[in-house]
Chains A and B, each alone.
Chain A
């Protein structure tokens, strides 16, 4: 079976026991993203706090989602990666994840990104299945959207 390359144990763990799930307050922005070809959905809230250096920090991301294991595990892995990071750092991590998704299963790409992506590097196998890439990316698109909206509410210090 080739399936194990996509459904890494780490992904299934995130799917079964998602980290940070649930909608919480406070939040500055809430977005709802759907994957129109399959009906996957995520509602995602972002709460920003400004640190001593004046940077906008993602102090909480809360979410409710509905969808396949890949889409739901991706949100959970993203949560672990970006909580406590500044918005630009989180968006940069999102770019790395995008690079991984475009790697078409090239192991060298995943290897280079291991430090930046931690658990999320386990999604490398998804890049071999074009139809599933959008599942893995939905949460990151929602985060990008919600962060931009939250920044515009808080005055955009980042």
Chain B
């Protein structure tokens, strides 16, 4: 059993060696001196030095609570924080920084919207009731969602008596849009859909979904946790109402995420978390709230993390998101070929690179994904195993779990070779080397 797929000729769109030198962690070894092969960027990305430096610089030279305090440090901290907001806005195609709300992560961004929609039903101010979700309304998701874009909507439905409906999946890992016209209907208040599946790698066609949602007047929220880090995303082009994503998956620090919302929609929503920073006037009898984005940023925010995210955005922009996308596509194409030539390996998700990102999930016949992951780990290769916080997806494809490799700007062909060799090693270790049926045909 030998590998026959060889590396494509020509250079990759990104200079992997130069990029790797920017990531201190990639030079460490793991498990008794093994070179680290990091194929788990989909769970969290590693951080380039520029991001770490930006955080350190903030704490060493400018640390203060933003939007309060009359001193110079407070001014500098506020400027840096607001500059980060503008950078993130430009990165996703908006010049209106009021549309960028900093949250803890994608999960919190989605919960913010889900809670605002139920809070709207009981809001005192008429202006906040416009998007209220009530009994009889419907929320639409897909079977492809990460738990972060599923459980908050299940909970919203439980709180309000609304009904959750969903679009199913096809056998080849795509959204099944056959029922689009009935699943999204006049009762639909919001459609929540992932841009790129964290487990299948599928990039979803948003146009028909947005078009149908517009016909019935429903809001559209896109989970961009796996798309914003890996492809150019422009909110004006998407034509949606909300986009949620996390900093830590796009080279930024953990603890910072973003909710982008169309200003007129954000402005009509009541708050989710309340307290300091988000108020207009507070009296013992009651309070009024600030305009977005402050209305949704209660308490002292994650300042250093936001500034670190700004630095991550600068880093990605300097590489060019077009090139990042192109690079990952080349890596993904190679990985799909390289993995599928191994007898016993089945890719769960699209097996071509059409509308597909760099998350490659697979099973190895006769070896549980955890055990595959353990052998890979022993070789220094970091992958994710399990249901990837998308339990309904693995259930849909009849597997208990998968092993998943995800790629980023520092991923090279050598990483994919190491992965393929590692899978074969796992097969040897567990004594399951399936017959190579392709060779028995002739």
Contact = CB atoms under 8 A, between A and B. Distances in A.
Interface of A: 1-3, 6-7, 12, 37-41, 66-70, 129, 132, 135
B370 A132 contact: yes
A67 B369 CA distance: 9
A70 B371 CA distance: 8
Interface stretch (B13-21, B242-250, B276-284, B384-392): B384-392
Given A3-B374, A6-B374, A129-B374, A38 B401 contact: yes
A39 B386 contact: yes
Contact of B32 (A2, A39, A40): A2
A1 B378 contact: yes
Interface in B369-424: 369-371, 374-375, 378, 385-387, 391, 394, 400-401
A37 B378 contact: no
Contacts of A2: 31-32, 378
A38 B430 contact: no
Given A2-B32, A2-B378, A39 B401 contact: yes
A70 to B, nearest CB: 7
Contact of B370 (A3, A12, A41, A70): A70
A38 B32 contact: no
Contacts of B368: 67-69
- Counting from the closest, the 10 A-B pairs by CB-CB distance are A68-B370, A38-B386, A68-B368, A39-B387, A3-B378, A39-B401, A69-B371, A66-B400, A68-B371, A39-B400
B378 A38 contact: no
B429 A39 contact: no
B374 A38 contact: no
Interface of B: 31-32, 368-371, 374-375, 378, 385-387, 391, 394, 400-401, 429-430
15 contacts: A2-B31, A2-B32, A2-B378, A6-B374, A7-B374, A38-B386, A39-B387, A40-B370, A41-B400, A67-B400, A69-B370, A129-B374, A132-B370, A132-B374, A135-B370
Nearest to A72: B368
Contacts of A70: 370-371
Nearest to B369: A68
A7 B367 CA distance: 13
A42 to B, nearest CB: 12
Nearest to B31: A2
A37 B386 contact: yes
A135 B386 CA distance: 12
Between A1, A37, A135, the greatest number of chain B beta carbons within 10 A of the residue's beta carbon is seen for: A1
Contacts of B31: 2
B400 A3 contact: no
Contacts of B374: 3, 6-7, 129, 132
Contacts of A37: 386
Given A67-B370, A68-B369, A70-B370, 11 more contacts: A7-B371, A7-B374, A38-B401, A39-B386, A39-B394, A40-B370, A40-B400, A41-B400, A66-B400, A68-B368, A68-B370
A70 B368 CA distance: 10
A39 B374 CA distance: 16
A135 B371 CA distance: 11
A40 B400 CA distance: 7
A3 B375 contact: yes
Nearest to B391: A39
Nearest to B375: A3
B429 A38 contact: no
A66 to B, nearest CB: 5
Nearest to A1: B378
Contacts of A41: 400
A127 to B, nearest CB: 14
A38 B386 CA distance: 4
Contacts of B375: 3
A142 to B, nearest CB: 17
Contacts of A1: 378, 429
Contacts of A38: 370, 385-387, 401
A39 B400 CA distance: 7
A3 B386 contact: no
Nearest to B426: A3
Nearest to B386: A38
